Structure formats: C-alpha cells, structure tokens
Amino acid sequence: MSGANALAAPLTGSFAHDPGTFGASWLTCLLSFVIVVALILLSRYGLKFLEPYLSRGRRTRNLAVLETLAIDPRRRVSLISCGKKKGLILTGGGNDLFLGWIEDEAGHLPRTVPPARPDTDPGE
C-alpha cells in the first residue's frame, strides 16, 4: 500500500505542472527566441548607422586599395593608389611583390626620381 500512497502524493517543485504551466513555458521560450532574433536583425542596421563613426580613425588620405582580384585561392593582385599614383601589388604565396606603377589615362607614368646611372661614380 505504501507504493500507492507514493504515487498519489502531490508533486512539488519543478515537477509540479498543471495544464496551464506547460503552455506558458513554451510561450515564454518562443517569445524569448523571437526577441533574440529581432535584436540580431536590428543590430545589423545599427552597425550600418555607426560604421562611419567607428572607421573614422582608420581612414587615410593618400593610401587606398582600389580593387582586388583573386588569382588563385592564395594569391591576389591589388590595385592601390598612393597620392595620385596607382600601383599593382601581388600578395599571398611565399612573399609579396610590388609589380610597379601604372600609367594614367593620358599614357604618362607618374613622375618619379630617375635611378642613378651605374657608369658614373659619385666619388669623382
């Protein structure tokens, strides 16, 4: 008989569920999930609004990456601008390589300091 009395005893604590409590817990979980998803979606728009203020310290006036092209999974060719000059850089692989300056629209290379002639000795 003692076994029957144990089954008939009312449950207390977290095991006590009446029909309304089960539905309320699922409703609470569903509402929490909807709120979390809404906050994630709203943070996306908030970051777009704050981006100009966050990236203000990282902007440079003279140096910028204009375009990048992936050659293979490791290497990329990047078109950079430094002031009014434009150049090509090959990155990835074992080392990085500056490929050179690019001509402007008029077909002129940017002005650079000419290299020293090897036949003249500066000590003479």
Asked if residue 89 lies in contact with residue 98, where contact means CB atoms within 8 angstroms, the answer is: yes
pLDDT of 75 reads 92
pLDDT of 46 reads 85
- Of the candidates 64, 58, 105, the one whose C-alpha atom is nearest the C-alpha of residue 83 is 64
pLDDT of 62 reads 82
pLDDT of 11 reads 54
Alpha-carbon gap, residue 88 to 67, rounded angstroms: 10
pLDDT of 32 reads 95
What is the mean pLDDT of each successive set of 10 residues along the chain, which is 124 residues long? 53 56 81 95 86 69 87 91 89 88 67 56 53
Alpha-carbon gap, residue 32 to 29, rounded angstroms: 5
Residue 9 has which token pair?
A: 């005893």
